[in-house]
Every structure is written in C-alpha cells, then in structure tokens.
Structure 1
Amino acid sequence: MARNIGSRYTAHQILGRGSAGTVWLGEGPEGPVAIKLLREDLASDQELVGRFVQERTALLGLDHPKVVGVRDLVVDGNDLALVMDLVRGTDLRTRLDRERRLAPEAAVAIIADVADGLAAAHAAGVVHRDVKPENILLDMEGPLGPAGSHPALLTDFGVAKLIDTPRRTKALRPAGANPQNPPTPSGIIGTPDYIAPEIVEGLPPRAAVDIYALATVLYELLAGFTPFGGGHPGAVLRRHVTETVVPLPGIPDELWQLIVQCLAKAPASRLRASELATRLHDLLPLIAGMPPLDVDEPDVEPAPEPYEDAAPAARDEPRRRGAVPLVPGATPADSNRDTHTSMRVPAPDELAGGARGTARAPRTPGQRRPGSARHKADAVRKRRITLGVAALVVAAAVGVGGWLATSDGDTEAPPQDSKQSAPSEP
C-alpha cells in the first residue's frame, strides 16, 4: 500500500528492514528513490530530530560514485526519513550467505570500492561508524569489475550517529572537565563483529574505526567468518581488545600484512582510507585467478540461554551464529550483525579477563583448533582410552600375579599323608 513521505515522495513497497527502520521503494520528483523510514520511537525523539536536521548539510553534500547518495531528509509529523539513490541489486551479506566466501580478487575489488567511498567521506569529515556487509550494496546494473564483481557502494552514512543519543555521554563527564575534551561514551553503538577496540574502551569514534571495520569485512569475505566474532557479544567485544588476529593460510603476504595493519589495536597505526584503496587496487594483479580459500570456521563458545521472560518463539527459533538477545524480550534477529548493538562499555578488569593472543584460529578442513570444545572432547576421549587400557593392564597383571602366588604355595608345601600309624602294643 502506497504512503506519502512528506509532500514530495511516495513509498510504494518495502525493500527491506533494518535495525533503524524500513527501506521502501519510492518515487520522487526526479524518479525512483529508496526511502529509509526510521522507526517511530526514533522519530519521536526530539534530540534525534534536532541532530537529523544538523546532519542534513553534511549528508547531502556527500557525493561519490561509491557512496549511496542521500538526496533529501524528511521530517514530517511522525515520519523521519532519508531519501537515497536507488541501487538495483543486493547487499554483500546476501552474497556471503549464498557463497560463504569469495575469491580473493573479487573480495579485494569490493573492499577497494568501499575504501574509495570512505576516503571521500572522511575527507568531508563524515565517519560511517557501522561498516558491515549489510551496509555494502552491489549494483547489479553497473559494469563488472575484477573477477566479475559488481560495483560496491557504501550506504547508511549517518544512521549510526543519528541513533546514538548524546544523553549516553553526559553521565560520564567528570565535574570540572574541560569541555574541549570529548567525554567518554557510556554506550557502544555498532555491530559487535566489526567494532574497533577503541570504541569498546570508550574512546570517541574517528575515521580509523571505519578502516578497522572494513578490514574485518575483507577478512570475512576471504575466510567466511570474522576474525573476532562468534559467541556472546560481550565475548566478541573483549576479543577485539585483547586478542590478535590469526593468519589466513593461502593468501599472499602483501595482502595479509595489509589486513594486519588495518586491524591494529592502535588507531594511529592503521592506514587511511585513501591509502588502503590505492594498495588494494595495486594488489589486484597479484591475486588474479586465485580460488577461494579452503579453511573451516573455528569453534565458538556456547551462547548463554535467552532470558526467562523472552518470548517462547525466541527460545525455540534456531540462532544464527553469534546472535544472542541483549535485552529481555528480544529475538535473535534483533541482535548482533542484524542490528546496532547498544551496550555499556566493559570495565578494564572485564576486558583484561580474556586470554591474550588466543584469537579464534582458522583451520584446514578436518583439523581441530587447540583449546576448542571439539579439541578438548578429543583429548578427554584419548585420556579415557589411555586410562581404560592402563586399567586393563593393571588388572591383567594382578590376575597373573595371583595365579603365580597360588602355584608357588602348592609346590613348597606338599599335602600331608592322611593315614595315621597305629599305636604299638606294649
């Protein structure tokens, strides 16, 4: 059913749903558009509406072929919407779900496109803050690139910043603090698998957080899983801070070193978006024709059970990898990769609680990861077998010893004669 969005646009049908709202296929004065209609609870937040208007100039001015352009921002009654260019295609998550991992050439070509878009955004002073496969669109009508890849465009600029309310940051400003220094945020906005460690530690988001997230997406395209993901979101956040990324077998060292640099814990050690784009483009001839990597996804720690007051459907529905309800009543579809996650910043002692240098290592097919649940189970089985064999050996030894002892007693003490001599007569 069609609905009017402001006075200039009409939304015709739903294209998809996300954490912040619903995307509609719409029509405007200049033709077809995509309209992202934010949730009603967001539209009723007056502070958010104020920021929405403040961000209008920056978002409308972001014009680059690798960025989904924002044409208009609509504030009309209960409607709060971003009107964007219509990209006819799909998102990168859909392709990953279908293919699991991509050939290195295709993966690098896609990430190079996104890095080009980020370079333009960062130059304009705009930080995305939620780079992930769901926010990378593949234009099926655009010219094919290396390895037959479709042009990639980054979308949803400004959405993460819009829904991050300033009220979350005011509580931690100490008395007498210098207003020129930004306060430490008390909440984490983003998607756990792609959040940079400085965000987990409470630092304000800078351009480097987008580079970290984009390198995480590149790792995922190559491996089929993220370097620190899996299990409960709290454990994922801790890994970002405490663990080091484990190498992927089978890729050129130049590509691996690039990934490592962009996943550096220190933001200043990462490449800038323009540098990353240039180096990725330069690497394309080196990896031309390489097949997808052949690695198995690491084992993950078991996720906790949902809250008791969660809806029965949420308890019965099979979980996606890493999807754990964060609030009572939430369903797996409301958490982790599919949505923005709002969590408190872990305390330093909580961050230090994880094992260091034990990132979830990718494995060759059939190989158990040391320390994993399956690896431990194998070890337990081996110990049981060893103990069982040892017990049989001991039992056999005891039996043989008893038999020998019995045989020796019979030899050394012959039986006495049962006949007694008659007494002699006097």
Structure 2
Amino acid sequence: MARKIGSRYTAHQILGRGSAGTVWLGEGPEGPVAIKLLREDLASDQELVGRFVQERTALLGLEHPHVVSVRDLVVDGNDLALVMDLVRGTDLRTRLERDRRLAPEAAVAISADIADGLAAAHAAGVVHRDVKPENVLLDMQGPLGPGGSHRALLTDFGVAKLIDTPRRTKATKIIGTPDYLAPEIVEGLPPRASVDIYALATVLYELLAGFTPFGGGHPGAVLRRHVTETVVPLPGIPDELWQLLVQCLAKAPASRLRASELGARLRELLPMLAGMPPLEVDEPDTESAEEADREEQPAGPAPAERVRRRGAVPLVPGAKPADSNRDTHTSMRVPAPDELAGGAHGTARAPRASGTPRPGSARNRALARRRRVALGAGAVVLAAAVGVGAWLSTSGDDASAPPQDTKNSAPQSP
C-alpha cells in the first residue's frame, strides 16, 4: 500500500478522497505529514503543473495557527502533490453530520478561527475560493475553546485556483461548491477576498441552523437564489449576531466586512452566547423545494443528475457516491442573466411546516392556480344548482298555469 511521493516522502494510508485527488497519511524527513495527491489527469496537464510551481512561494509562505500549512510541493513524473501539516482530528462536515447544528458559542468560535486564518491569507494575496465545512479541520489534540469548540484550521488553500486554468474552465464556467458561492462568482466576475467572507458567513449560518441559507434542490436553482434572494432570519439568536451575518451575506462585495474585522467582531460576541443551547429551527421542506425547482428549471440535466443532499453538492462527473461528501471543486455553467432573473425574488426559503410550499415558488403558484380552478368549478356547479331549482319551482304542479309576461325578461334558450 505504501508508495513513494518524490524522493523525500512516503504515503502509507488513504485518509480521504475528493474530486481533486486523494489525501494520504505520509512520512517525511521531519515526521508524519498529510499528502494531497492530485488526480492523474491534473498531473498530466503541463499548464497546471507550471501554475502549480508558480504558486509555490505563496503557498509555502502561508503560515498561521488557523491555517493548515503547506510544507512542500512535489512534481515528480505523474505525481503532483501538496505536502501539508498533519492535523489530528476530523473535518467540520463530519461534526455537522453527527450533531446537525452547533451551539451558537461553539459555532461563532470556530468561525472566528477561520476568519483569522483568512485574514492572514488575504494579507498575503491568497484567496481560498472554496471555504466550506469539508475544508475546515478540527484539531482534537489541542485544548478546548469557547463552548467546547476545538481549534479550527482551514485547508486546501490554492487548490481551486490551481484547477481553475483557462484551458479547463472557459469564461462560461465557474469553480466552487454551489451552496457557498458568492453572487459575484455566479455572475461570472473574478473572485476576490470578499467571496471567502460570503462563504464563511454561509458556513456560520449552517453551523447555527443545520442547513445553508440558499441550498437544496437543483444546483441551478441554488445559484439563482444566491443572486436573487435575501437570507431569512434565524429565530433565537441575538440581533448583533444576525446583523453580522446579514452584512457578510450581502450581495454587494463592498458591503461585507474584511476577514480581520469579522474575526474581531465574532470574538466580541462570544460572552453573550455563553451557555446558549443549539437553535430549535425546522429545516425548510426539501422535497417541496426540489419540486418547485424542477418546475422552475427548463429541460436540462437528467433526473439522475439532480442532487438532493444539502451542504456540498457533488457535481463532478465520475465522482464515486462514497466520496461525494468530500468533493472539493465543481465546474458549472454560469447562468444567463434571464435565468438569474427567472426565480423567486425577495426572501429565501424560510423554515416552515413540512409540506408547506415556499412563497413565490412555482409549486405555490401551481397550487394557487388549482385553487382558482376549483373555486371556478364550484361556482359553475352552484349556478347550475340554482338554475335547476328555479326550473323546478316553475314546473311540476304549476305547469298548467298561463305563461308569464316576459317582455322585460332576457330571452331564454330554446
């Protein structure tokens, strides 16, 4: 099972798989390391290899307590690998799958750690571009923080940029994970530091609520919601925290905080969150949302390509189902302006009772049309019943009565 990675490292055991490659537990001259071995098709791309080497200085120079440091970049034959610090713990997605949602104090403490890591990266000119729970590692070996949280570290810096080469993604393609994509990326604008703030605010919302603010249903509908809908309030959290979330989920990049400001503001809120239990929030009805999305979407992807799970939406062709929850990068078509404008406007899907359609959705409109048709049919039946009653009242025992004067009445049908 062991394999050599370059001349200095040996990979012993697979720790996880993703769309970009495989992470191995390895050994180097200074002890245990994590080795991210990129896919063979990526390693054979000479343009990507050149870009890989160009990014070497920036990635190797990025060191921070809340960033998984890259120790080395290896280019050796068909092997293209990032050698990183080994973090003894798990990722945030696994924690969410176990607990569904976190207590506000722990959620904010983890998000503050990630904001601090992003601040260091942005100061060095590095944009992550794929902030999500799969790329947040929790150090189980260190001391516990506020709310019993483990120290959080952000990993996979630079991988999205490496894969997003002009030859692989045209101007009509975007790289990322749908639930966490900032509106400007969906609209085809170049990613800047503010996209990481939007993604981190989405992660914080998910830690508090148990679901992302714009996720669920067809990926195209998810992308459209980022552009056209506003986030719904979460009941039970302090207004200061909610206003911070709203600001960082703003559609306009300039309205969002910088990473350093966000980290500081989050830590200021920790005292008021101490001891607060996880929120009691009902997740929006996913089945209803998906039905509405199918009605809103033009003919396109086959049913097998429609993804139902929340959080990271795996769209990478050929990805194994067992690895889908670790997919890191997705290539999607940029929606046209008319598609972005075609969805429901206003507030995004609010937590609601199961089976209740989302206001403004296609399903809601269809139900309204059916109600109107039913009411119309009921009116016709009622009118018919009234007419029959009138006919019966002038028939039967009074059939021999002389005809009434009808000169002021409307003509009757024969």
Alignment TM class, shorter chain as reference: 0.7 to 0.9
1:110 shift after superposition:
0.8
1:339 is paired with a residue of what secondary structure? coil
Measured at CA, do residues 2 and 63 of structure 1 come closer, stay the same or move farther in structure 2, by a change above 3 Å? same
Q: Give yes or no for contact 2:17–2:326 (8 Å, CA) kept in 1.
A: no
Letter in 2 for 1:345: V
- For 1:325 and 1:143, how far apart are their aligned partners in 2? 34
* CA-atom RMSD in angstroms: 3.1
Measured at CA, do residues 246 and 236 of structure 1 come closer, stay the same or move farther in structure 2, by a change above 3 Å? same
Q: Which residue of 2 aligns with 1:181?
A: none
Q: Which residue of 1 aligns with 2:55?
A: 55
Q: Which residue of 1 aligns with 2:335?
A: 346
- For 1:93 and 1:295, how far apart are their aligned partners in 2? 19
Choose from 218, 223, 230 the match for 1:244: 230
Task: Determine whether 1:278 maps to 2:267.
Answer: no
Measured at CA, do residues 87 and 352 of structure 1 come closer, stay the same or move farther in structure 2, by a change above 3 Å? same
Comparing 53-62 with 297-306, which one deviates more in the overlay? 297-306
- For 2:313 and 2:181, how far apart are their aligned partners in 1? 16
Q: Give yes or no for contact 2:4–2:10 (8 Å, CA) kept in 1.
A: yes
**Identical-residue share of aligned pairs (%):** 81
Q: Which residue of 2 aligns with 1:360?
A: 349
Deviations 1:338-380 (A, max 9, x none): 3311123333333333333242223367865323577567657
1:26 is paired with a residue of what secondary structure? strand
Task: Determine whether 1:290 maps to 2:279.
Answer: no
Q: Which residue of 2 aligns with 1:371?
A: 360
Relative contact order higher in (CA < 8 Å, ≥ 6 apart): 2
1:260 is paired with a residue of what secondary structure? helix
- For 1:331 and 1:379, how far apart are their aligned partners in 2? 41
Deviations 1:183-226 (A, max 9, x none): xx443111111111122222222111111110111111112221
Q: Give yes or no for contact 2:70–2:82 (8 Å, CA) kept in 1.
A: yes
Task: Determine whether 1:405 maps to 2:394.
Answer: yes
1:167 is paired with a residue of what secondary structure? coil
Deviations 1:130-179 (A, max 9, x none): 1001000111112111221111110111111111113368x7xxxxxxxx
Q: Which residue of 2 aligns with 1:88?
A: 88
Measured at CA, do residues 374 and 336 of structure 1 come closer, stay the same or move farther in structure 2, by a change above 3 Å? farther
Letter in 2 for 1:134: E
Q: Which residue of 1 aligns with 2:289?
A: 300
1:410 shift after superposition:
6.3
Task: Determine whether 1:223 maps to 2:188.
Answer: no
- For 1:244 and 1:336, how far apart are their aligned partners in 2? 27
Q: Which residue of 2 aligns with 1:13?
A: 13
Comparing 111-120 with 327-336, which one deviates more in the overlay? 327-336
Task: Determine whether 1:207 maps to 2:196.
Answer: no
1:300 is paired with a residue of what secondary structure? helix
Alignment length (residue pairs) = 394
Measured at CA, do residues 99 and 381 of structure 1 come closer, stay the same or move farther in structure 2, by a change above 3 Å? farther
- For 2:77 and 2:143, how far apart are their aligned partners in 1? 41
Measured at CA, do residues 336 and 120 of structure 1 come closer, stay the same or move farther in structure 2, by a change above 3 Å? same
- For 1:262 and 1:32, how far apart are their aligned partners in 2? 37
Measured at CA, do residues 219 and 157 of structure 1 come closer, stay the same or move farther in structure 2, by a change above 3 Å? same
Q: Which residue of 1 aligns with 2:126?
A: 126
1:36 is paired with a residue of what secondary structure? strand
- For 1:390 and 1:231, how far apart are their aligned partners in 2? 37
Task: Determine whether 1:3 maps to 2:22.
Answer: no
- For 1:42 and 1:147, how far apart are their aligned partners in 2? 41
2:97 is paired with a residue of what secondary structure? helix
Choose from 155, 176, 191 the match for 1:190: 176
Q: Give yes or no for contact 1:295–1:365 (8 Å, CA) kept in 2.
A: no
1:301 is paired with a residue of what secondary structure? helix
Q: Give yes or no for contact 1:335–1:341 (8 Å, CA) kept in 2.
A: no
- For 2:356 and 2:339, how far apart are their aligned partners in 1? 31
- For 1:145 and 1:101, how far apart are their aligned partners in 2? 17
Measured at CA, do residues 347 and 378 of structure 1 come closer, stay the same or move farther in structure 2, by a change above 3 Å? closer
* Consecutive unaligned residues in structure 2, runs of 5 or more: 403-414
1:231 shift after superposition:
2.1
- For 1:367 and 1:118, how far apart are their aligned partners in 2? 39
1:212 is paired with a residue of what secondary structure? helix
1:118 shift after superposition:
0.8
Letter in 1 for 2:337: P
1:22 is paired with a residue of what secondary structure? strand
Q: Which residue of 1 aligns with 2:30?
A: 30
- For 1:68 and 1:345, how far apart are their aligned partners in 2? 31
The TM-score with structure 1 as length reference comes to: 0.82
Letter in 1 for 2:350: A
Letter in 2 for 1:351: L
Q: Give yes or no for contact 2:216–2:308 (8 Å, CA) kept in 1.
A: no
2:105 is paired with a residue of what secondary structure? helix
- For 2:96 and 2:254, how far apart are their aligned partners in 1? 30
Q: Which residue of 2 aligns with 1:165?
A: 165
Letter in 2 for 1:369: R
Deviations 1:7-28 (A, max 9, x none): 1111111110011100111111
Deviations 1:285-314 (A, max 9, x none): 122222222222224234579856x9xxx6
2:223 is paired with a residue of what secondary structure? helix
Letter in 1 for 2:221: A
